[in-house]
Structure 1
Amino acid sequence: MLPLNSSQIPATFVLMGWSGLEAIYSLISIPICFMFFLSVFGNGLILHVIIQDHKLHQPMYLFLSMLATTDLLFSLFTSPSVLGIFLFQYQSIRSKVCLFQMFFIQSLSIIESSLLLAMAFDRFVAICHPLRYTTILTSSVITKIGWVCAIRGTLIHVPLVTSLQFLPYCNGNVLSHSYCLHQDVMKLACDGTNTFNIMYGLAIILCTVTVDMILIILSYILIIKAVLHVTSEIEQYRLFSTCVSHLCAVFMFYVPLMALSIVRRFGIQVPPVFINLMANTYLFVPPMINPIIYSIKSQQIREGFYQTFYRRMIDL
């Protein structure tokens, strides 16, 4: 650990696993490896199917391909440090690598939140304005939405992550998670020197994830009102069923993220095991669950899987 009077960013940070459970790290690594494999395989397969099948080049599936790409990158950038701890007890990470990982965790989280909002807008147009669906969500509009999501998520975090390199650090170099988070690194800085990071980080949360969540809720209020005006119960069920996959993805993304943010920002005293559980749920579960949910609920995706594996079997 660094001395308390240090005034520069540590050369390395120490990542923490699940404190008190070091004896069973090898057992914990089994489900973590399994979730990582499912995330990479599932999202990679969905991405492959959508790219290969031209019938899936529709707004909903194009947004899904963007979501799968984001989840795939999220797993690839964040999981190595976690797997290193639980498989090899390797807890040290260079500061530049830590900041690099932090940047992508924060950026990809905002991008995913933006994409979930875009997918809510897609469902809103499809249900509330079905006759104008193809004219509103053209290929050009979808491409622009994708670029806006990517640029919004990346540019907004450049000042935040860059500023951490110039803070004086007085509180050691031990982080409380198995991957690098802005709040963790920021708390190691000397008292009174990180006001910009606190205010800017809070502004990012309020202007991105919070706004996205509010707009998603408003979208579904309008969707529910539109569906309730449909007289046929069968048609109501069909319309609601098209939203189930997206609602599950929204729930799995926002619940652990908001729980972790509330605990961190307001200093709520909870058992460390709960914090670690929420942190790893936020890291592994959404990228793993999303392809499973969409595979189960989307007949077109299932048919795409079948065609992919059927062709492979014929080729063999």
Structure 2
Amino acid sequence: MFKLNGTVFMPSVLTLVGIPGLESVQFWIGIPFCAMYITALFGNSLLLVIIKSEHSLHEPMYLFLAMLGATDIALSTCILPKMLGIFWFHLPDIYFNACLFQMWLIHTFQCIESGILLAMALDRYVAICDPLRHAITFTHQLLTQIGVAVTLRAVIFSAPCLILIKCRLKHFRTTVVSHSYCEHMAVVKLAAEDIRINKIYGLFVAFIILGFDIIVIILSYIRIFVTVFNLPQRESRLKAFNTCIAHICVFLEFYLLGFFSFFTHRFGFHIPPYIHILLSNLYLLVPPLLNPIVYGVKTKQIRDRLSKIFSL
């Protein structure tokens, strides 16, 4: 690491501040964050065990839910251990390459989660709008292909973010990252070079992947609602709609938190920085926490299995 004209050339180590403005209470903030993380780990792990052990749950909807649970575990694990190290043990330093790797993992798992939510919406669309073709369409082979495609899409679209930082940004004004994890723009803004391409690509990925997924999910549910409301019997309408409620809740919590965090970062110039960072943290922690709870409450098969487990 060399200093030249007040800039740092290719830093080997960065320093994560945590939550600027709340340093004095970061220890206490870490307690609910840790509780959320442990609850998310327990809930999603229990969900995976239930789906694996219960053969009646080896259906597309529940297998997608298992993929979502595994992604949630990985996503929250990307940030929480290091964050708690900053809050509780005053360990703010992180190797530059490790920081880029954390950033890539976060973007990758976010894209995977969005892709799984899209696949779940299409599964519900076929199950309700064309039920006779559902078993033929959503085979285990197709589920495997969807899982591979969603993962490859996320990996490929997230990789250029790292390449642009590694290859284009050589001089940094500071090595202090005003964030609790290696958030893309928080790292990019440290650079002394022109960062417009990095910003543009970040927005491009957000709009291409998340925007596409949201549009397809919304169109799928518009078609689902039209089909449900045209069903002749009220009981049939309620049953069909009930199978979608959990997914709608998960869809809303993931994308609404994401958009709220995104627009607060881009346009909330008068909002204190610690609000931005807290929202970013909650965006990555709340969905893994709530997803197993939502599906546990709204899905009868999972509720029944849970009651059997805890009644032993």
TM range (shorter): over 0.9
Q: 2:93 aligned with 1:53, yes or no?
A: no
Report the number of matched residues. 310
Aligned to 2:282: 281
- Indicate the residue corresponding to 2:190 in structure 1: 188
- Tell me if 1:237 matches 2:238: yes
**Which residues of structure 2 form unaligned runs of 5+?**
none
The structure-2 alpha-carbon separation of the partners of 1:267 and 1:26, relative to structure 1 and needing over 3 Å to count, comes to closer
Q: SS in structure 2 opposite 1:258?
A: helix
Partner of 2:76: 75
Is 1:118 aligned with 2:119? yes
Contact 2:8/2:174 (<8 A) preserved? no
Aligned to 2:10: 9
Deviates more, 1:234-243 or 1:140-149: 234-243
In 2, are the aligned partners of 1:124 and 1:220 still within 8 Å (CA)? yes
What's the CA shift for 1:266?
Answer: 4.5
In structure 2, C-alpha distance between the alignment counterparts of 1:98 and 1:168, rounded to whole Å: 15
Q: CA deviation at 1:271?
A: 2.2
CA contact (8 A) 1:4 1:171 kept: no
- Structure 1 residues 59-84: Cα deviation after superposition (integer angstroms, max 9, x where no partner): 00010000001001111222112111
Q: CA RMSD in A?
A: 1.9
Runs of 4+ that moved beyond 6 A? none
Please tell me whether the aligned partners of residues 177 and 279 of structure 1 are also in contact (alpha carbons under 8 angstroms). no
Checking the alignment, whether the CA contact within 8 Å between 2:115 and 2:213 is kept in structure 1 is yes
Work out which of the residue numbers 157, 169, 172 in structure 2 matches 1:170: 172
Letter in 2 for 1:180: C
1:271 is aligned to 272
1:246 and 2:247 matched: yes
Q: Normalising to structure 2: TM-score of the pair?
A: 0.93
For residues 202 and 186 of structure 1, the distance between their equivalents in structure 2, rounded to whole angstroms, comes to 13
For 1:3 and 1:281, how far apart are their aligned partners in 2?
38
- Determine the structure 2 residue equivalent to 1:137: 138
**What is the rounded CA distance, in whole Å, between the counterparts of 2:150 and 2:53 in structure 1?**
24
Aligned AA for 1:101? Q
Would the aligned equivalents of 1:111 and 1:150 in 2 still touch at CA under 8 Å? Answer: yes
Once residues 27 and 264 of structure 1 are traced to their aligned partners in structure 2, the CA distance between those partners, rounded to angstroms, is 24
Residues 1:90 and 2:91 aligned together: yes
In the other structure, the counterpart of 1:220 is: 221
SS in 1 for 2:147: helix
Question: Residue deviations 1:167-195, cap 9 Å, x none?
Answer: 12332122222111111111111242x33
Counterpart contact for 1:161–1:182, Cα < 8 Å: no
2:8 and 2:91 mapped to 1: Cα distance? 26
The 1-side partners of 2:98 and 2:71 are apart by: 20
3-state secondary structure, aligned to 2:174: coil
State which drifts further: 281-290 or 300-309: 300-309
Does the 8 A contact of 1:260 with 1:275 survive in 2?
A: yes
Whether the aligned pair in 1 keeps the contact of 2:21 and 2:274 (CA below 8 Å) is no
Contact 1:43 1:72 in 2 (8 A): yes
* 2:199 match: 198
Q: Deviations over 1:134-187 (max 9, x none)?
A: 111111111111111111111221222123123123321222221111111111
What is aligned with 1:34? Answer: 35
Amino acid at match of 2:276: I
Taking only the aligned residue pairs, the percentage that are identical comes to 39
Q: Could you give the per-residue CA deviations for residues 239-267 of structure 1, whole angstroms, max 9, x where no partner exists?
A: 22111111111111111211222233456
CA contact (8 A) 1:262 1:268 kept: no
- What letter is aligned with 1:80? P
2-side partners of 1:296 and 1:254: how far apart?
21
* Alpha-carbon distance change, 148 to 4 in structure 1, aligned in 2, over 3 angstroms: farther
State how far apart, in whole Å, the 2-side matches of 1:44 and 1:270 are: 37
Matches of 1:212 and 1:125, distance apart in 2: 17
Note if contact 2:171-2:191 (Cα within 8 Å) is conserved in structure 1: yes
Equivalent in the alignment of 1:108: 109
Partner of 1:179: 181
Per-residue CA distance 1:115-150 (angstroms, 9 max, x = gap): 001001111111111111111111111111111111
TM-score, normalising length from structure 1? 0.92
Q: Letter of the aligned partner of 2:180 in structure 1?
A: S
> Contact between 1:49 and 1:308, CA under 8 Å: does it hold in 2?
no
